[in-house]
Structure 1
Amino acid sequence: MTRWIIFIIIYLILTVYGFQAIKTITKYSWVHYIFIAIAIIIVGNFIFQFASSSEGRVLSPSKSYAFGFLLSFMSLNLVLVPILLGEDIIRSALGLYDKLVTKESFYLPSRRKFVSQIALGLAAIPFSSLLYGMYKGKYNFRVLNYTLHFEDLPDAFDGYKITQISDIHSGSFDNKAKIEYAVDLINEQQSDVLLFTGDMVNNKASEMIPWKDTFKRLKAKDGKFSVLGNHDYGDYVDWPNKEDKAQNLEDLMTIQKEIGFDLLLNEHRYLQKDGQRIALVGVENWGKGGFKKAGDLKKASSKIQPEDFKILMSHDPSHWEAEVINDAYKYHLTLSGHTHGMQFGIEIPGWIKWSPVKWRYKHWAGIYEELDQYINVNRGFGYLGYPGRVGIWPEITVIELKKGIKEV
């Protein structure tokens, strides 16, 4: 109860400052009423949604949108507050100066219209960006192409193409046409193999049932392979008993099989071509920071040879730094996801790549190289929590393997 009171107090303070800016800019009372109505509707819906019971601790679509609209509205007011508060300090200082120095009565100058206009103009940037992220950004699918060179790549796999997707989070989807478009986009890449690096659902396996036929259409001539992510185990649901939780995982594994994925549970497969092979290793989720550590790299690789060319699928990129790159076996390429790039950031290829998630994950999006080994951290196919994406778009990764040394 206390946190709700604190939240409402903070919300009221921010809203009051936003209202002050609106009043300064326009004298039309209907604009004032609309602003107040929007503020009440947003906070009312948020309280209603989050006071209601939920099947899992991960947000349902309705709760996600309630959170998204609240975040957008508060971002508007959060930008306004420091600007208008700064103006209030200056206004108060001028009034005190008149009172103490000129001996006149205390007079507080009125707000300046141009200051409020500047404040609202700046505040409109994050506000409109967050709304755009909810409306279009979450389905703004991008195909990112990389070419990686390896001296010890088997000759038969020179030019071999891998498509990676990650973090489907089907429990968040609300537009079938957009998802079908993305599946078609994946198939258009005509890669040799399709690899999915975990988090098919948010809470329960049943979330994937409406989307099963859509994802069945995914194609790759050498097969479709997958691993589990932290959300796939049902750990974010308060199950009535262990049996129901175990059945949920069994149901998810069955769904993956029906879609056509070969799910690797701390095991490996060989991809074969012209009498040569590369080892595809898949571990269960292993993550730092309180996440499940079911992944067993030793078990997954126990039946492959040290000299094999190896591709590792591991959902959480923290596994790479903690265990993979210093392992006795060399894992030439690791494929991960999990971070979503926080679904928010700024990326201009060749210039800047930034997201707040970098403060938690050293490897959070794209290709990294250490100790002659690579990792690609996919930015995710779906979304979670905030129902949108701003600057960090949903990703389909295509990696081409090349024999030899990269030209500088």
Structure 2
Amino acid sequence: MVFIRILFFLLFLGLIDWYSYQAFKTLFPNQNWVKIGFWAFSFGIYLFAIFVFLTFDRINVGLNFGRLISLLVLSILPKLIILVFLFGEDITRVVRGVFQSISGTNNGDFLPERRKFISQTALLLSAIPFLGTLHGVLIGKYRYRVMKHTLEFDDLPEEFDGFTITQISDIHSGSFDNKEKLEYGVDLINQQESDMILFTGDLVNNHAGEMEPWIETFQKLKAPMGKYSILGNHDYGDYVAWPSREAKVQNLQRLCQIQEELGFKLLRNESIKIQKGNSSIDLIGVENWGKGFAQYGDLNKATANLEEKSFKILMSHDPSHFDEVVKKFSQLIHLTLSGHTHGMQFGIEIPGFIRWSPASLRYPKWAGLYEELGRYLHVNRGFGFLAFPGRVGIWPEITVLELRRK
């Protein structure tokens, strides 16, 4: 079964390459360097894919895997557009050929020649995803954007009126490749001068060692009322093969230790009181709980000792936890902060006109602010990136939330 799938995938790659070559050949019939360049680009990617496959390490995936993903996206997306146009043209050519053969007007050639206009249109439109992806890989992945929201609550303690929170999520430190850009992002977080910084999970891609080169950079994060964090689904090391169970346990222990070195208080199915003057709010942090993912989170345990009417903020990595558990929970949780989706790192957002990402097919609440049953959920689009080393239309996010009393 696996062999058949691989065979079909290879045939599919061959098909889109062949059709794409037809477009270039039609448009540049006498330019051999264009034809040679096309095949050199395609075969170069496939050779690199073979190299990555042969050197793949399931414990330390490395940056080459991300580079391969970006090259495949750069290659395949434009070719799919060309395929649609030229395959559609071939259907028309076959129909015309049959009709002309029946009517005797085909002049000896069954298939009419390809029209240059179709190839021109296909190549022009295919340049859009190519240039968009190229921008996302070279610039978009570090194009940090500050998103600000003001939330009003009837029962917010007066001392917390105007309290500010900066939320970051999904750092995925194993994907970073530019220290200067990363330090710019960290400085931008500090420039918000929020009272508190909350990190909602996925510090690494797979193993704790990915964060080692960036500890000094993230230690620069400052917040007068503290920095708090939770674990995301990638932090447990569930997606790679470990030599032993002990190695996996030690990896998680080291990751928790790194959180402490960064100055974050890691909350694992527990809560802490944030005191200001004579009032306090409850900050709750649960381990990862996701629909279709590991469910280590225990909201009952985390809220066991809390007062029924206290003001509560929950950090829960996966937004599906909100729909499945939090919004129906016996205690009122005023605000839930999540991440996880990354907005799929691909989409289009034009305020007031359109807001779409493939993430919406999997997560009804995939990015931004939501309100349901008197409870707020904010889904951060992520600070870093995973697998595909870029962002197209969905930029890395730093969220600033201001709490106001009605």
Q: TM-score, normalised by structure 2?
A: 0.97
Partner of 1:384: 386
* Displacement of 1:238: 1.1
* SS of equivalent residue, structure 1 residue 325: helix
Residues 152-167 of structure 1 mapped to structure 2, 5 A cutoff: 152-167=155-170
> What's the Cα RMSD here?
1.2
Per-residue CA distance 1:158-204 (angstroms, 9 max, x = gap): 11100000000000100000110000000000000000000000010
Within 1, Cα distance between the matches of 2:125 and 2:355? 22
* SS of equivalent residue, structure 2 residue 113: coil
Per-residue CA distance 1:276-325 (angstroms, 9 max, x = gap): 11100000010111x11110101111121111100000000011111101
Within 1, Cα distance between the matches of 2:231 and 2:173? 14
Match for 2:140 among 132, 137, 150?
Answer: 137
After superposition, the Cα gap between the structure-2 partners of 1:2 and 1:45, relative to the gap in structure 1 and judged at 3 Å, is farther
* Displacement of 1:48: 2.0
Match for 1:202 among 177, 201, 205?
Answer: 205
- The AA in structure 2 aligned to 1:279 is D
Partner of 1:229: 232
Partner of 2:322: 320
Partner of 1:87: 89
Contact kept? 1:59, 1:384, Cα under 8 Å: no
Within 1, Cα distance between the matches of 2:92 and 2:336? 55
* Displacement of 1:337: 0.3
Runs of 4+ with deviation above 6 angstroms: none
The number of aligned residues is: 402
* Displacement of 1:55: 3.1
Partner of 1:41: 44
Within 2, Cα distance between the matches of 1:366 and 1:103? 61
Within 2, Cα distance between the matches of 1:186 and 1:360? 29
Partner of 1:283: 286
- The AA in structure 2 aligned to 1:206 is G
Within 2, Cα distance between the matches of 1:85 and 1:350? 36
Match for 1:247 among 227, 250, 271?
Answer: 250
Match for 1:16 among 15, 18, 21?
Answer: 18
* Displacement of 1:102: 2.4
Partner of 2:150: 147
- The AA in structure 2 aligned to 1:131 is L
Per-residue CA distance 1:126-155 (angstroms, 9 max, x = gap): 111111111111111000000010011000
Within 1, Cα distance between the matches of 2:66 and 2:321? 29
* SS of equivalent residue, structure 1 residue 9: helix
Per-residue CA distance 1:33-65 (angstroms, 9 max, x = gap): 001100100111112212333133x85321111
Q: Percent identity?
A: 53
Per-residue CA distance 1:4-61 (angstroms, 9 max, x = gap): 33322211110111111011111211011001100100111112212333133x8532
* SS of equivalent residue, structure 2 residue 275: strand
Within 2, Cα distance between the matches of 1:49 and 1:338? 26
* SS of equivalent residue, structure 2 residue 20: helix
Contact kept? 1:334, 1:376, Cα under 8 Å: yes
Contact kept? 1:199, 1:228, Cα under 8 Å: yes
Residues 92-107 of structure 1 mapped to structure 2, 5 A cutoff: 92-102=94-104, 104=106, 105-107=108-110
Per-residue CA distance 1:249-280 (angstroms, 9 max, x = gap): 11001000001000001111111111111100
Partner of 1:178: 181
Q: TM-score, normalised by structure 1?
A: 0.96
Partner of 1:348: 350
Within 1, Cα distance between the matches of 2:255 and 2:126? 43
Within 2, Cα distance between the matches of 1:264 and 1:148? 24
* Displacement of 1:73: 0.6
Partner of 1:30: 33
Partner of 2:215: 212
* SS of equivalent residue, structure 1 residue 221: coil
Within 1, Cα distance between the matches of 2:78 and 2:18? 12
**Which 5+ residue runs of structure 2 have no aligned equivalent?**
none
Within 2, Cα distance between the matches of 1:70 and 1:32? 19
Match for 1:118 among 111, 121, 124?
Answer: 121
